Every structure is written in structure tokens, then in C-alpha cells.
Amino acid sequence: MEKGERIQDIRQLSLDQLISQISDFGEKPFRAKQIYEWLWKKSATDFDEMTNLSLSLRELLRNKYLINKVIVSDEQISNDRTIKSGFKLYDENIVEGVLIPTEKRITACISSQVGCSLSCTFCATGFLERKRNLEIGEIYDQVVLINKQAEQNYGTPLSNVVLMGMGEPLLNYANVLQGIDRITSSDGLNMSSKRITLSTAGIAKMIKKLADDHVKFNLALSLHAADDEKRNSIMPINETNSLESLKEALMYFYSRTKNQITLEYIAFKDFNVGLDDARNLARFASNLPCKINIIEYNPIDQANFGRANANELDAFIGFLEKKGLIINVRRSRGKDIDAACGQLANKSSKVVDK
């Protein structure tokens, strides 16, 4: 390698690019397909694992490429069996992911960025600096590692993946879609797209782009207020992506994909669960094929929001149900280890490599 030449992460290459480069080395194209299978189907993170390749080819790969693998640097298990992991990246940055086991499913909640730039006032990640986007392999590795946790701790593989961790997935659009492709494709982990949900704070033009790209996974909008003034106050992204534009984008998304839409709505005390708020939410959800997940608020050190009381919340939900809306109440899991919705902020215990 010439001085100053940057060694490349092999997982940044498409199959076609890999075939081209391997052919330039004088190898047959089928060798590239073998390498691709090791990377994405067998989840290899070391060239020495690729045992059907010659020693000379493995040595060439080591000299030309690297694999920027993710490692579990910290792991905490909640009283409710939720597992939160600190994932250390090649550049020493840390992101967090969560394994959420329930009776019906085992879900991986994964991150898409190191930090976040959206500054939602109720979310711990929103108080972090956005350092960079996660790469394709880093998105993929989180699923592989959490799946390993599921099998080792609970004897069953993952059933679902949600991109609801740190960062805004639609601000890392290309890497997120390619990462999901590696997770769902037959030459990757072969997970059903219907088991994948991408959650966004709401970027209308990118929601429409998802529709135009005919994605097969599900979409969730972190709504949390159905009044522009209120939503502006807790989610600055709403100032440039009004509720009207978001609803139009969601309608367009459904018309093109027929994929499930979920509205996520955190219930804050004395803020967004009054009857006027219920009317606004019912109006926003009208004619939109969706379900609504009501989420209990999880306190964070940086904010002074409170959790809605039971009577207030019951009246709010009752109004919505009378309007014929599908309502699910999601109880938070992993609160004792800061693994619940809105709590991910790299508060893991001391990092120790495994």
C-alpha cells in the first residue's frame, strides 16, 4: 500500500464493487460472492474466519481492507429482563442499543447516529452532540450482537427490530436503508421487512422519499403533540415540518407502500393529554391508516416533564377510542437502567471491553 493511502472498510463496498475490486486482484468473481456471504450472511468480523478462502487471499484482504466491527463494551440487565448495551465503535465513540423481551416478541432497539441534532426537549439523546452517522456495518452489527444476547439469555432469536435508539434515522438515510437491506435480504440476515420499524421525529420530504423508494418496512412518527405550537415547543424539527406537511407525507407514504404507520405519543402531565389534545390527535389521525401507541413518560435529568396521572390518561384514551382509533398503551421497560424510551444517553457503567 502506498504511503498515505487510506485502508478501506470492506463493508462499505456493494457486491458489484467488491466483484470489481477482487477481479482487479486477479481473483475469480465468485470469490467476491464468498466474501460477501461471510460478511453479511455469516456476520464475519475477521478475515481469518473466511476458511473457504486461500491463505494468500485472506492475507491480501487484510492488507487492503479492514472490518470496523462493533463490540459490546458494557451490558446492564434490568429487573424486567431488558438488556441495555453500550456499543463501542472503531473510533471509540459509544452508542446504545436495547434488547426488549416480552411474552409475544423479542425486540432489538438500535441506534442510527452517534448523538442527535434534533434537540427534542424530553429526550436524553437530544441533549448530546451529534458526532457522526453510523455506517452500514455498525447498524447491522447492533442487530447481530443483540440477537446473540437474545439467544444466549432467553434461548430465542430476535423477532423484531426498531430504529428508535439514538439519532434520527432519516438524517442518515442512505446508510440506514442499506443497513436494513443487509438485515432483511436473502444474502444477509434474511429477517422479514415487516418485522422492522423505522421511527422518525418527522421530516416530511424524507418520508416521501421512503415512499418513492418503495420501502417494505413499517414507519412510526414520534408525534407527542398534535398542535403545532405545542409540538414546536418540545420538538424544534416541527418548525420546518408542520403537522399539515407531516400528515400529507404520511398519507403519501401509505398510498405508495400500504405499510403500517404508527403514531407514537408520550403522555406528559398537564401538557398533552387534555381533551383538547385528544381532539387534536383524533383530527390528525382521521383518514390516516394508523395505530396510536401511548407511551408513559420516562424522566431524565435534563428535563422537568412529569408522567400523566391515571385519571387524566384514561379520559384521554377513552375519547380517542370512542372516535374508533386503535390505541395501544406501551408500558416502559428497562427504566431502572435508563434503557426506556427517551433515556438513552450513554449513561452506561464503566466501559470494559469484552
Residues 230-234: contacts with CB under 8 Å, at least 24 apart: 230/271, 230/272, 230/277, 233/121, 234/120, 234/121, 234/122
CB 87 within 8 A of CB 145: yes
C-alpha count within 13 angstroms, C-beta hemisphere, residue 139? 33
Q: CB–CB of 61/55 below 8 Å?
A: no
Place of cell 441495555: 84
Whether 37 sits among the annotated catalytic residues: the reply is: no
Q: Where are the alpha helices (DSSP H) in 119-227?
A: 136-154, 173-184, 204-212
- C-alpha cell, 125: 439523546
Longest dimension (CA), the chain: 72
Q: The cell 440477537 sits on which residue?
A: 147
Positive or negative torsion for Cα 130, 133, 138, 144? positive
Enumerate residues 6+ apart whose C-beta is below 8 A from 210: 170, 198, 219, 253, 257
Query: Around Cβ 302, how many Cβ atoms within 10 Å?
Result: 12
The active-site residue, picked from 109, 116, 123, 341, is 341
Contact yes or no for 342/266 (Cβ under 8 A): yes
Clarify whether 116 is annotated catalytic.
no
Residue with cell 385528544: 278
d(CA 283, CA 15): 46
Question: Does residue 313 sit in helix, strand or coil?
Answer: helix
Q: Active-site residue among 96, 135, 168, 264?
A: 96
In the beta sheet, which residues pair with residue 305? Answer: none
275-285 and 310-322 helices cross at what angle (nearest 10)?
A: 40
Active site positions, annotated: 96, 341
